[in-house]
Amino acid sequence: MTEGTGNFIISEADPDYPGWNTWVLADPDCYNSFLGRMIVRRGGDGVGENIARVRMFPERKHRNLGDAVHGGTMMGFIDCSLFAAMRVLDLGPSGYAVTLELQTHFLGAARMDEPLEAQVEVTRETGRFLFMRGLVVQGQDGQDNMSSFTAIVKKAPRQKTDLQ
């Protein structure tokens, strides 16, 4: 899966996680690369097919002074997961989409030694906007809620073609 003509994203089957795809930016100098390795999939493991799942693997650079995942890292991960969800859920190109609003509620201190998973769903789609919500979970079977969020994303403008 690649991102339209912009080639923003490179994604292929992840060899370590069957059923998951890698989520790699073509430009390693973008902010998203700070988050490190990420993988994506649609549903699975008891999660509905209407839910995009995005995982990151916390590294030492993501910690706060309390040796938990820094809140800024969590919010950055949530923001990036919105755009990964757009692609996983086949909602069009995400490269030039824009986050208009992101409301986050921290529910627990995310541990450094376990992957974080954002589970993102679209609650409404209009011609120009996506209304999204989700949870960031951690632990075996995602039983520990680390944060909840809602967001509004303005879709990327349509690409002009020779016919327009």
Alpha-carbon torsion angle 141, 147, 152, 153, nearest 10: -60
Query: For residue 164, what pLDDT is reported?
Result: 44
Share of the chain above pLDDT 70, in %: 90
Question: Is residue 10 over pLDDT 60?
Answer: yes
Question: CA 27 → CA 24, 34, 39, 129, distances in Å?
Answer: 9, 12, 17, 26
Instruction: Assign a CATH topology to domain 4-154.
Output: Thiol Ester Dehydrase; Chain A (3.10.129)
Query: For residue 4, what pLDDT is reported?
Result: 43
The 10s digit of each residue's pLDDT in 131-155 is 999 999 998 877 899 999 999 999 9
pLDDT interval class at 8 (50, 70, 90): low
- Mean pLDDT for 68-77 is 96
Question: pTM of this prediction?
Answer: 0.89
Query: For residue 5, what pLDDT is reported?
Result: 40
Q: Report yes or no: 132 and 122 within 8 Å, Cβ to Cβ.
A: yes
Please give the span between the terminal C-alpha atoms of the chain, in angstroms, as a whole number. 26
Question: Is residue 24 over pLDDT 90?
Answer: no
